[in-house]
Amino acid sequence: MHFFDRLADRIATADSVVSVGLDPDPDRLPDSVLDADLPRWQFNRRIIDATHEHAACYKPNAAFYEDPDGWRALEETIAYAHGKDVPVLLDAKRGDIGNTARQYAQILDDEAGPAADAITVNPFLGRDSLEPFLQCADKGVFVLGRTSNPGGEDLQDLELASGEKLYERVVHLADLWNGNGNVGLVVGATNPDELEEIRELVPDIPFLVPGVGAQGGDAEAAVEHGLADGVGLVNSSRGIIFAGEDADARRDDSGDAFFKAAGQSARQLKERLNQFR
């Protein structure tokens, strides 16, 4: 089954388009997990326990796992999420050429261990840098299309000889690269007008819309323009996983209050987004 078919099933089961970002910043973990063998894995396990009924997907960011213990924690996290029937989208923003690209794509290989179901990729080096990912027909490939960080406009807003902006060209290319029906787009939520414009350019590609949480993105626009035939993801990371980050919850030996707050935040975001579905 292709990733977007599995995602559609999960969205229907959970009645949710919420993607929960699993970014276990070691400096922000509650005391209750710090003595574990793998604190990041223990943290993620409890977040998953608290949020899985509200999650369409989990999105760990590779930057928080790039050390030996981190990769172990990531593998355990992927396996545990799968045990809850929730797909995993690895936010890695890969994009390189030749052997390097093929090696990066191994994270999608189910025979190599617990494998992600989808990945984010950077299109700056062109199609050949993404080909190893695109060839994984049953896996999702989310191409960075339009980001909402202030510096994104340094390149993305450049006007090409064709008259289109660079990000618009990337969006069109993503559509061309979608021969296996496994391509999505990452489109930031902080500019609703651009979300609408990009949806008009590519009516059939699901979006991953980050920024509806701590970054203050527009929830209504994220749902209205982010979904294609009901399929897409709206991500919140810090707004969910650190929702219980007050002093008392952090120091609670059991961690119950901290993780209960994450579950409540995930439920509230689901309900907020579902108003517009």
126-139 per-position pLDDT tens digit: 999 999 999 999 99
Q: What is the pLDDT of residue 213?
A: 60
Q: pTM value?
A: 0.95
Say whether pLDDT at 269 is over 80.
Answer: yes
So where are the chain's domains?
3-274
Q: Is residue 93 annotated as a catalytic residue, yes or no?
A: yes
Active-site hit among 93, 139, 165, 270: 93
Per-residue pLDDT of 91-107, as tens digits, reads 999 999 989 999 999 99
pLDDT digits (tens, 9 = 90+) for 57-76: 999 999 999 999 999 999 99
Rounded to the nearest 5 degrees, what angle is found at the Cα of 266, between the Cα atoms of 240 and 23?
A: 35
Render the burial of 116-150: b for 16+ CB within 10 Å, e for the rest.
bbbbbbebeeeeebbebbbebeebbbbbbbbbbee
Per DSSP bridges, beta strands 118-121 and 89-94 are parallel
Domain covering 3-274 in this structure, CATH number: 3.20.20.70
